[in-house]
Amino acid sequence: MSDQISIRLAGQLGQFDLNVDFAAPMHGITALFGPSGCGKTTILRSVAGLNRIPGEIRVGGETWQNERLFLPTHKRPIGYVFQEPSLFPHLSVRQNLTYGARRTKAEHAIRFDDVVELLGLAHLIDRWPTHLSGGERQRVSIGRALLSQPRLLLMDEPLSALDRMAKDEILPYFEALHSSLKIPMLLVTHDISEVERLADHLVLLKSGRVQASGRLSDVLTAPDSPLAARSDFAAVLPGLVDRIDPDGIAVVKVGETEIYLLADSLSPGDSVRVRIAAGDVSIARQRAQDSSILNAVPVHILSIEPMGLSETGLLLGLPDGAGQFRARISRRSNAKLNLQEGDEVIAQIKSVSLLANR
Amino acid sequence: MGELWSPIRLTLELASITTVLLMIVGTPIAWWLAWSSWRGKEIVATIIALPLVLPPTVLGFYLLIALGPNGLGGWFGDLAGVRTFAFTFEGLVFGSVIYSLPFAVQPIRNSFEAMGKRPLEVAATLRASPWDRFVSVAVPLALPGLLTGAVLGFAHTVGEFGVILMIGGNIPGETKVLSIAIYDFVETLRWREAHILSAGMLVFSFAVILSVSLLARRARNRVPA
């Protein structure tokens, strides 16, 4: 397949034993997610050629590594963003940005001025790395990677070394990157909120093995998803802004289901991504007439499984298979309502958050 | 004046040539010591560091044998058409490189290790070939270490005495360097000449130590990005 990234690696790196085999599409953001020590950074470094683990790596029809071949890092058309910005301290911001560009023979489709504009670097261009904030440095290092005209962007927890403020400052640039450039990205992260907000595809990793991989919504809501047991579990649903009501409520359609959102920056026609946390969903047999809860949507129960000693997890489906999300309720409520798989119920969603406006 | 100038000129020549060779030989050695994952590398590092603790006469004795007609010197001498490299300027250069090598290698290795692998990895992901990475990233980042290595190597060669006496003797214009000349002047009770040369060395040494510590301070002040 020439339109995908396929990665098969099996071997040891020091004490660590890696054995993975998965594919990711040549578009959108694929998140490699898992706890520290699961091998996600090792995989990313192997794709870059910085680690050498036996296996095969193919990207968009080109082989970068197999039994006979190992393309050295500087010959792979990648852009790598490290956890720490790692700017060259002896070069100015401008010289850092053009370091890779000057060494790239590929057509310069990504232009200097556009990257400066996209990442908001204009006022930093003649400064030195030591005089930048953490967030600014990371933006420069993203720009530097982009200007080397990569066919694949590799991001190793690019936000984790940043504080909350710097993170909030940089996330919108990531979303801009995603919508304005057509470069596929592998994003290593251990932060589920980054996955929910940014990823289109998800590879779940644990102890050097792939637990699940596929489209984000599929992996999140798969009945046996290893994520389902997390207390902070949330589903992510893609939707379209249908209209803005006079009282300021945005009506988002997920399939035929209407979801109401408090968001003032939307306009009709926007593609959005909404997040529904399992802990924010309660179940009723009938639509409550006198409730302050804005979102009460008809769903059917796809599966019921116990979670710990006192809770029950429900997988809920929207009509016409438009999407799935989860609810976490007490065992007592489950018994009281006598819920069965296949039941038609009302899901009351206490809060729906807007993740991204694409 | 020729008696004073000849050893000064010879010393500067010897130290300059030695320093250039130290940089050419020492930098790859320091690079290898900094990055090699081979376990035996500390043994190599120890051998290079031996001149730090060996009495110069011991080092000089082995060098004399090595340079002589029955050692490497004789073998290379056959190629060059001479019988031996002992008691020649070329022999002094060889001995000085060995003697001063640890003084050059150590600061260079330290600066490579302080830089770490990350900048080189970053450069590789930005399409820089290995040689390009060395020139455009490693050399500028390790520059204080390289300069310190060069200054120390130069200064140490200038101050060399024991090894030179063993392998070079005291041939005016060929092997009679500053330190030997001072010794000679004192032996023959020519205090005025000994004073002039010694005071010059004193000023020189002061300048060297000051410049090395200033270089080291500049390196420390470089904030890591």
pLDDT in tens, A342-353: 999 999 998 888
User: What's the CA gap between A116 and A144, in Å, rounded?
Assistant: 10
> Looking at the partner chain, which of B119, B125, B137 has a beta carbon nearest the beta carbon of A73?
B125
Q: Is the pLDDT of residue B179 over 80?
A: yes
Quote the tokens at residue B123.
């450069």
Cβ separation of B125 and A78 shorter than 8 Å? yes
Q: Is the pLDDT of residue A114 over 80?
A: yes
Average pLDDT on B182-204 reads 92
pLDDT digits (tens, 9 = 90+) for B69-124: 877 777 777 777 777 778 888 889 999 999 999 999 999 999 999 999 999 999 99
Average pLDDT on A215-220 reads 86
User: What's the CA gap between A38 and A17, in Å, rounded?
Assistant: 10
Cβ distance A187 to A29 under 8 Å?
Answer: yes
Q: Is the pLDDT of residue B63 over 80?
A: yes
- What are the φ and ψ backbone dihedral angles of A295, each rounded to 5 degrees? -105, 115
Cβ separation of B141 and A99 shorter than 8 Å? no
At residue A161, the 3 state secondary structure works out as: coil
Q: How far is B195 from chain A (nearest CA, A)?
A: 45
Cβ separation of B127 and A100 shorter than 8 Å? yes
Higher-confidence position of B224 and A210: A210
Higher-confidence position of A163 and A96: A96
Contacts of residue B162, defined as CB under 8 A and 6 or more positions apart, other chains included, come to B55, B56, B57, B59, B60
Quote the tokens at residue A183.
């470069």
Helix (H) or strand (E) holding A245: none
> What percentage of chain A reaches a pLDDT higher than 90?
52
Higher-confidence position of A171 and B40: B40
User: What's the CA gap between A352 and A279, in Å, rounded?
Assistant: 11
Give the HSE-up count for residue A184: Cα atoms under 13 Å, Cβ half-sphere: 18
Determine the angle formed by the axes of helices B89-115 and B143-158, rounding to 10 degrees: 150
- What are the start-end ranges of the E strands in A53-189? 55-59, 62-65, 78-81, 152-156, 185-189
pLDDT digits (tens, 9 = 90+) for A221-270: 877 777 877 777 888 888 899 999 888 888 999 988 999 988 777 888 88
User: What's the CA gap between A285 and B196, in Å, rounded?
Assistant: 106
Residues 73-102 of A with CB under 8 A from B: 73-76, 78-80, 82, 84-90, 99-100
Burial tier of B152 (Cβ tally within 10 Å: 0-12, 13-18, 19+): buried
Q: Quick one: pLDDT band at residue B223, thresholds 50, 70, 90? A: very low
- What are the φ and ψ backbone dihedral angles of A219, each rounded to 5 degrees? -70, -40
Query: Hey, what amino acid is at A152?
Result: L
Q: How far is A160 from chain B (nearest CA, A)?
A: 16
CA dihedral A224, A225, A227, A229 (to 10 degrees): -10
Alpha-carbon distances, residue B94 vs B100, B127, B206 (angstroms): 10, 39, 27
> What percentage of chain B reaches a pLDDT higher than 70?
96
May I ask the CATH architecture of the domain B2-36+51-222?
Orthogonal Bundle (1.10)
DSSP state, A350? S
Residue A69: name the closest of A51, A59, A57 by CA.
Answer: A57
Say how many CB pairs under 8 Å bridge A and B. 71
Contacts of residue B148, defined as CB under 8 A and 6 or more positions apart, other chains included, come to B107, B111, B212, B215, B216
Quote the tokens at residue B213.
């510590």
Instruction: Give contacts of A80 with chain B, Cβ < 8 Å.
Output: 122, 125
Burial tier of A30 (Cβ tally within 10 Å: 0-12, 13-18, 19+): buried
- C-beta neighbour count of A17 within 10 angstroms: 13
Domain chopping of chain B, boundaries? 2-36+51-222
Cβ distance A146 to A138 under 8 Å?
Answer: no
User: What's the CA gap between A344 and A286, in Å, rounded?
Assistant: 10
Q: Is the pLDDT of residue B225 over 70?
A: no
Over the Cα atoms of chain A, what is R_g? 22
pLDDT digits (tens, 9 = 90+) for A26-70: 988 999 999 888 999 999 999 999 999 999 999 998 999 999 999
Determine the angle formed by the axes of helices B191-221 and B178-187, rounding to 10 degrees: 150
pLDDT digits (tens, 9 = 90+) for B5-43: 889 999 999 999 999 999 999 999 999 999 999 999 999
> Looking at the partner chain, which of A80, A85, A90 has a beta carbon nearest the beta carbon of B125?
A80
